[in-house]
Amino acid sequence: MKENKKGNISKLLGFAGGHKKLTVLGCTLSGVSALLSMAPYILIWFVARGIFEAMPDFSSVQNLVHFGWEALWFALASAAIYFGALMCTHLAAFRTARNMRFRAAKHLVDLPLGYFTSNQSGRLRKMIDDNAGMTETLLAHELPDSVGAVVTPVAAVALLFVFDWRMGLLCLIPIAISIATLFQMMGGKQAKFFSRYQRAVEDLSAEATEYVRGIPVVKVFQQTVYSFKSFYSSIMSYSKLASEYAMVNRTPMTAFTTVLNSTFLLLIPAGMILCGVSADGWGVLVDLVFYILFTPLCAMMINRLMYAGQASMEAAEAVYKLGQIMEEAPLPEPENPEFPKGTDVELRHVTFTYPGAEAPALSDVSFRVPGGKTVALVGPSGGGKTTAASLIPRFWDAQEGEVLVGGADVRRITTEELMDKVAFVFQDTHLFKTSILENIRAARPDATREEALRAARAAQADDILEKMPQGIDTVIGTKGVYLSGGEQQRIALARAILKDAPIVVLDEATAFADPENEALIQRAFETLTRGKTVLMIAHRLSTVRGADRIIVLKDGKKAECGSHEQLLAAGGIYAAMWKDYQTAAEWKVGKEVSA
Ligand SMILES: Nc1ncnc2c1ncn2[C@@H]1O[C@H](COP(=O)(O)OP(=O)(O)OP(=O)(O)O)[C@@H](O)[C@H]1O
pLDDT in tens, the chain (595 residues): 444 545 666 777 777 777 788 889 999 999 999 999 888 888 887 887 777 777 777 676 677 788 888 989 999 999 999 999 999 999 998 888 888 888 888 888 777 766 776 666 666 776 777 777 778 888 888 888 888 888 887 887 777 677 777 777 777 788 888 888 877 777 666 667 777 887 788 788 878 877 887 777 766 666 665 557 778 888 888 898 888 878 877 888 888 888 888 877 888 888 888 888 877 777 788 778 778 877 787 788 788 778 877 777 777 777 787 787 788 777 778 888 888 888 899 999 999 998 888 899 999 999 999 988 999 999 888 889 989 998 998 888 899 999 999 999 999 998 888 888 888 887 777 778 888 888 888 888 888 998 888 888 888 888 888 888 788 888 887 666 778 777 888 888 888 888 888 998 888 765 555 666 677 777 777 777 788 899 988 877 777 877 899 999 999 999 999 988 999 998 889 898 888 877 876 665 555 555 5
In a domain, 336, yes or no: no
CA 225 to chain centre: 26
In a domain, 332, yes or no: no
Q: Is 448 touching ligand 1 by the criterion CB < 6 Å?
A: no
Rounded CA separation 148/28 (Å): 9
Of all atoms in ligand 1, which is nearest to the CA of residue 539? Answer: 25
Please identify, among 301, 327, 353, the residue that sits at the C-terminal boundary of a domain: 327
Q: Is 118 touching ligand 1 by the criterion CB < 6 Å?
A: no
In this structure, the answer to whether residues 95 and 175 fall within a common structural domain is: yes
Alpha carbon of 385 to ligand 1 centroid (Å): 8
Residues paired with residue 402 on neighbouring β-strands, in sequence order:
348
Alpha carbon of 172 to ligand 1 centroid (Å): 68
Of all atoms in ligand 1, which is nearest to the CA of residue 387? Answer: 18
Of all atoms in ligand 1, which is nearest to the CA of residue 556? Answer: 14
CATH code of residue 311: 1.20.1560.10
In a domain, 432, yes or no: yes
Rounded CA separation 392/415 (Å): 11
In terms of Cβ atoms closer than 10 Å to its own Cβ (0-12, 13-18, 19+), residue 188 is: exposed
In this structure, the answer to whether residues 295 and 354 fall within a common structural domain is: no
Note whether ipTM > 0.95 here. Answer: yes
Those residues with Cβ within 8 angstroms of residue 321's Cβ, 6 or more apart along the chain or in another chain: 127, 131, 198, 202
State the residue range of the domain holding 549: 345-594
In a domain, 265, yes or no: yes
Rounded CA separation 416/426 (Å): 19
Alpha carbon of 421 to ligand 1 centroid (Å): 25
Task: Write out the DSSP string of 302-349.
Answer: HHHHHHHHHHHHHHHHHHHHHHHHHHSPPPPPPSS-----SS-EEEEE
What is the identity of the amino acid at 96? T
Rounded CA separation 310/189 (Å): 14
CATH code of residue 532: 3.40.50.300
Please identify, among 265, 297, 327, the residue that sits at the C-terminal boundary of a domain: 327
Those residues with Cβ within 8 angstroms of residue 339's Cβ, 6 or more apart along the chain or in another chain: 406, 408, 413, 417
Those residues with Cβ within 8 angstroms of residue 468's Cβ, 6 or more apart along the chain or in another chain: 436, 474, 481
User: Dihedral sign, CA of 390, 392, 394, 396?
Assistant: positive
Which SS3 state, helix, strand or coil, does residue 501 take?
A: coil
In this structure, the answer to whether residues 384 and 413 fall within a common structural domain is: yes
In this structure, the answer to whether residues 192 and 150 fall within a common structural domain is: yes
Quote the number of domains for the chain: 2
Of all atoms in ligand 1, which is nearest to the CA of residue 359? Answer: 29
Q: Which residue CA neighbors atom 18 of ligand 1 most closely? A: 384
How many Å is the maximal CA-CA distance in the chain? Answer: 124
Alpha helices for 472-539 (secondary structure H):
485-499, 515-529
Integer CA distances (angstroms), 238 to 96, 196, 230, 471, in order: 29, 9, 12, 47
Residues paired with residue 375 on neighbouring β-strands, in sequence order:
535, 549
Q: Is 117 touching ligand 1 by the criterion CB < 6 Å?
A: yes
Q: Is 360 touching ligand 1 by the criterion CB < 6 Å?
A: no
Those residues with Cβ within 8 angstroms of residue 536's Cβ, 6 or more apart along the chain or in another chain: 374, 375, 376, 377, 506, 507, 508, 529, 543, 544, 547
